[in-house]
Chain A
């Protein structure tokens, strides 16, 4: 690491005392690079054991990596905190301009501590930190308003990130998200509620600087290689063209698209909500994260007439991806695309994680069908698959929480089903709601074992899909080994905050070249060790906070609904979990 690299600087912001200071933590970045690896070490250092995630003592840690600002596609910010949703490790990643802004402001990490007495927003502009009154912004109906107000009120357009919460975060919904640049999110595990608990409405970060490479010539050469791999080869094509929703039709075709709370893996409306159909009928604009030429962010233009006034319309621009389409489309049996998009929009307006929100509604619908809850619980709403209007109203109530039922649903399906029943079809894994793949044992074991309980931890669905293609059965030990190896390598990528979509661009040899040109001399073994150690530390933190693979709840539904990789049972999953624990 070069002596002058600002990556080593960690900015601490104490909301309680309205103080800030900068510490040089050279050893941390020299040894562990950045991103996930640095964040878990800071979390271990700063997060007291057993802390209430919504107390002032829960830190928020935001990290970037050495490649950020030098090379394309290394534009993710890693957020770490204790999750109010699972009561355990919280880790969520977002792009937009967040990572570039943190790096250009001159930091490798930003740490938020304490709790403000009144609602505030914090502006970090290079070395200056300002605490500003946000009491007038608190409680505004739409998260979009916060973005547009702050955009005009503060300077620095083009060089900054505006991270903000909606009312869901203010109301401490345990799966509230943090929105950045309107279309990217720290979506999962409730960072929005942690912001809300600190009365932090928004965090703006910006700055400008140059970064000196170690070898100027090599830097430009490596840059061109990576840039050409990203733009001139088929590696990023799927993200570039249809984007992640290109998954909808192939998943449905093999019976792996969770539909109506996973009562089936096939959706009769799959074609209607597919990436192809959205692109041809609704795609209005594509945008990119800073320093990413791929532009995978697809925005649907939805024209909505006002029923009370002829020739009066509004046009929404809404970000869509595979997971939001799954969560507000197939999982809820909605094939009315305008209805699906309006539901997605309401989830944005309120600032919820779209995946947890969709799964929560899907569980509630089935619980209502089964008679476990009635209109007394839902405040008169009749939830039924395929009806977006009732779901839009329910989303608002998850935030305002007028009844005990909504207060429970605002903590996720694990919590709500523990009170009202229906655990067999409460689709959460390690406390986090299910992603949009039901491909076989691999995907579910990935959700269970992954440190973030995310499909992106270890991509178990690709094991299932390979097994289905080759028409062979998976073995528990094989699945455990493959998931662990994949998650270990992904720790390296997320420590360098490389977008996981670009994992094909950044193969190990390219990572080493990129690092070397900017002053990090590493071997492939060094990287592998970093991945192993980082994952081990995350799991050690989880064990400290009470997580145990052996006691995970397994929703019976996943064994009942046929999967593309063939039937599998609880014994298979338990055996794989045990093996995973031994390997770890």
Chain B
């Protein structure tokens, strides 16, 4: 089945310049939304499309927008766009920002209109210097063409888009950590309630949306919710950007309908497992999501099917591992990451991430015991569902997920006192 791409430009096309993007129909949706549609109608259309957030949690975008207050309240509203993209295995938002910046900016204009925002603030991870530069240029071009600022698209609205830079902390991708960081503080997540729609940036009503999420919006407005719903599954609608990395022949970002079979993504699009080796394990949606084993490769990549398989879609960042890869080492690399990134506010998370890392180090070195395996599960249990944000849950799921799915390999490390996979990558 031929897949129609709409997030990434067609092969060979360069839509980075405003003129090129407009020739391809760009900013028609924004013009229509702002001139001909009420804000409520935009929200309703997006709600009807079934669009779910692409930042990891998969929440209904239209519903999120409808939590925002009506205009005329005591405080201005803001759109805070999450371009922190730090979930390991995830490198898709960068593709949109670098290759189709104006689609993203058009999405920010329509989303900002829908929630009556005064301005959009885009929080870009500090390491993304190229996306920052491409977007700065695109915004300058838009402003010079009179399409940003006062009198937006011939209306009496005023709207601006500002770029912010992060500085290397993963936790600033968590929406309230991002808001704290954008206010010039440590990126420590806030307790909820109050939710950002009530108390967000500078204490004002704020919607946090991911880069890819808002980039779907111009197409939903242009071609309608009914069209959008023809793509994907009934409850996971539209295309999405799957990032495929690890042991495949053609790693990269593939725009495909939600619900595409994992096997098809790996074998057809990513060219199969490298060197013709056997598939062993797949992380389906960034390292926060529990790993799948090769027997589960026929799962469909949508929210419901992955939930049934015992994991989650997350960011759609797929990491493929072949039969050389040691699962204890994979779990160790990921535990090291979470130990490095915990913001330290919650005891369970601060201590738990350190414990998981220590236990896995010991097992990897061949010095672990059967009791250590049980301790991983009990520490994981304490870390779940009890903290300010979901980093703690993610760290627990990742470690216990590897242990449950590949228990025999963990036990072999304990019994043999060494790694049984001589060809494995090093942690």
- Do the two shown chains form a genuine complex with each other? no
Interface of A with B (CB < 8 Å)? none
